[in-house]
Amino acid sequence: MRRGQQRHAPCAPAVVLLCILLAADYSRGFVQGRAARAAFQQTTVARQASSYSFDALSLSSTERERVLTELAERLQVAKAMQVPASSVQAYLDDCLQAMPPSNPYHGPSHVVDILQFLVTLLEETGLDKVLSPESRAALFLAGAAHDVDHTGTTNAFLVSLGHAYVEEMEDGVGPMESHSARRAAALLEERRLRLSPAPVLLQDVVRATIHGTDLARHQQIVDTFSAEMEAAVTEEAVAAFFSLQSPQGQLLLQLLLKAGDVSNPTRPLATAKAWNSQVYQEFYAEGDQVLSAGGKPNPLHDRRTNSIPKSSVGFIKWVKCIFNLLKEFLVRCKDAGVSEVRPEGLDAVLARLDENAASFAKEAAQLEAADAANKVSEIHSGR
């Protein structure tokens, strides 16, 4: 052999070993990096889940399940019912699976969005400290199931079709809410979720709370709640709102779930617009079906004439009335001596509603101006 070959031959094993070590180090770094990214993502999702700026539409199915688990733990739902956390998780999984993924709005993300908002609202206002554990659990379980098996259409449309849900309607309650409430009761029974020592009470309260999301019952609930609130001037009278057994307590749960159900305009503008897009996909799909059948659609469902920004301003005005009523209630609680509540916990929500309404109003004005300019141009061009 030549001298040069003798010099390099002994180095070959060292080179191979170095390559192996480098490959192992790269693989270890890749795995660690992936784990770090996953941990960061979990931390980010958890942090977001504690904020009014939450965006459920951006979550994967795995992240949705993780958020629901965390929310149930924060409200101590399983502890309130003295059941394993796995039973609550199984119920939540049932509710998610019963939300048709083909629905643009009334799908799994809607469930996560509402529950996150409700838990955050309770924590920010101090209601989580004064509501009975049973009331908190009932609200959470009702929120999870309030839209199960949703058809992605309105009650009026279901009635016009003679849908099967119409046949099982309860007196004074729309077909969709009647069906969802009945399914919720069945799921609670299947997972053996009860409040000891009264196994029927939880199902009754969850059913009544879901019934309250029927828009046709909105004014009745608001008027009744307002009257009961006006009459409650002592700390003892106010305390009735925090009990699961009292009519006032069930009214508060209905109002809270109603607030959560229409909370998407309280999100940051980009998220609120994304939810708008989902809502109007369902609205316009229903309107198209009504038109194709020769009917006249609800103005909000008519893609030919409806202005989403303009309609959004009107909707936010309606939503704000609900949150103003809740804040008035919290102020009265504070004045009556319930020191744990924080009316200011709703200030961020009310401010966001004002900001988003102003943005939608500006957009609506710009669209109207552009439309007027186009009409003038058409006139001048002789079209």
List the binding residues.
110, 146-147, 261
- Judge whether 30 lies within some domain: no
Instruction: Measure the CA–CA gap between 125 and 344, rounded to whole angstroms.
Output: 7
Under 8 Å between Cβ of 80 and 136: yes
pTM, to two decimals: 0.86
Instruction: Measure the CA–CA gap between 218 and 214, rounded to whole angstroms.
Output: 7
Under 8 Å between Cβ of 56 and 112: yes
The two tokens of residue 344 are: 């200011």
- Judge whether 117 lies within some domain: yes
Q: Residue-wise over 6-45: b if at least 16 C-beta within 10 A, else e?
A: eeeeeeeeeeeeeeeeeeeeeeeeeeeeeeeeeeeeeeeb
- Judge whether 265 lies within some domain: yes
Instruction: Measure the CA–CA gap between 316 and 293, rounded to whole angstroms.
Output: 31
- Judge whether 22 lies within some domain: no
- Collapsed DSSP state (helix, strand, coil) of residue 214: coil
Q: What is the DSSP letter of 217?
A: G
- Judge whether 306 lies within some domain: yes
pLDDT means per 10 residues in the chain (383 residues)?
44 56 55 49 65 96 96 96 95 97 97 98 98 96 98 97 95 97 96 78 94 96 97 94 94 98 98 98 98 96 97 98 98 96 98 98 92 63 60
228, 232, 236, 240: CA torsion to nearest 10: 10
Q: Is 150 a catalytic residue?
A: no
Instruction: Measure the CA–CA gap between 155 and 297, rounded to whole angstroms.
Output: 13
The two tokens of residue 342 are: 């924080």
Residue 376 is predicted with a pLDDT of 57
Under 8 Å between Cβ of 255 and 221: yes
Under 8 Å between Cβ of 74 and 122: no
Residue 37 is predicted with a pLDDT of 44
Which of 8, 106, 179, 301 is an active site residue? 106
Largest CA distance in the chain: 107
Helix 218-231 and helix 308-335, axial crossing angle in degrees, nearest 10: 20
Instruction: Measure the CA–CA gap between 125 and 273, rounded to whole angstroms.
Output: 26
75: containing domain: 60-381
Instruction: Measure the CA–CA gap between 265 and 278, rounded to whole angstroms.
Output: 13
Q: Residues with Cβ < 8 Å from 292, sequence gap 6 or more?
A: none
- Judge whether 119 lies within some domain: yes
Give the end-to-end CA distance of the chain in Å, rounded to a whole number.
Answer: 94
How crowded is residue 147: how many other Cβ atoms within 10 Å of its Cβ? 29
Helix, strand, coil % (nearest 5) of the chain?
75, 0, 25
- Collapsed DSSP state (helix, strand, coil) of residue 195: strand
Distances (CA, A) of 67 to 116, 176, 317, 370: 8, 26, 30, 43
- Judge whether 81 lies within some domain: yes
Domain count, the chain: 1
- Judge whether 50 lies within some domain: no
Which residue matches tokens 């019963």? 98
The CATH number for 349's domain is 1.10.1300.10
Q: What are phi and psi of 84, to 5 degrees?
A: -65, 145
Residue 201 is predicted with a pLDDT of 86
List the binding residues for Zn(2+).
110, 146-147, 261
Under 8 Å between Cβ of 318 and 101: no
Nearest to 226 by CA among 341, 324, 143: 324
Burial of 62 (0-12, 13-18, 19+ CB in 10 A): exposed
